[in-house]
Amino acid sequence: MANESKEITELDFGQLLDHTCMAYELLRGTINNTVTLSFTEFAGVDADRRSSFAQRSFAKDFLSSANILYRLCSRTENRRALSRFLEEADLDAIVAATKELNEIRNVHVHSLEVDSWSKPTRKVEKFSLPGGVSMSFYVSELWLRVINKVPYFGEVNLEEVYKAIEPIRQKAGYMAVHIKRNRSTRNVP
């Protein structure tokens, strides 16, 4: 509809901030074993593959949501709407933290297309395995790698992106917006 408002609501943006951070927190929890996934119908390799798939799903959800944050905070018309409830420094922090994820998102979404303009950057890396075995693998932006319990897509450290977004979530996330609104309607300091 042509006359519909195109404003970005504080609650919707807060929900996106929360969703982005929660996707990372679930990913981190599966890496450091504070979140346990149960695959009761599968055992051994099948269960391990499903755990890896779940981690990758959380990582891709984080990637997708963080990229939406990037698009919202980097476009002039969106920034104007967001500046009603976010400080310019917070918008800049989100853009800086998520900018590198834009190309990785493009690789994830478009790289398999025949006429794709966004192909993965593949390189060979050697990994040491238990028992003194080492293997070489092709890695790219498509791979979720965990190095010292820190997740990466390509060369981008997802934990650093999360650490930049999370403080803004504390101020402007879904729950923070609700608490602020409840205080303002009850005149509570």
Considering the entire predicted model, what is its pTM? Answer: 0.81
- Rounded Cα–Cα distance for residues 86 and 88 (Å): 7
Q: What is the pLDDT of residues 140-176, one digit of tens each?
A: 667 788 889 999 988 889 999 999 999 999 999 888 8
Position 62, amino acid: F
DSSP letter for 36, please: -
Segment among 24-28, 37-41, 100-104, 163-167 with least mean pLDDT: 37-41
Domain ranges of the chain: 10-114+157-186
Of the chain, the percentage scoring pLDDT greater than 90 comes to 44
Residue with more model confidence, 62 or 130:
62
Per-residue model confidence as pLDDT tens digits over 92-141: 999 999 998 887 776 666 566 666 666 667 777 777 777 888 887 767 66
d(CA 9, CA 81): 8
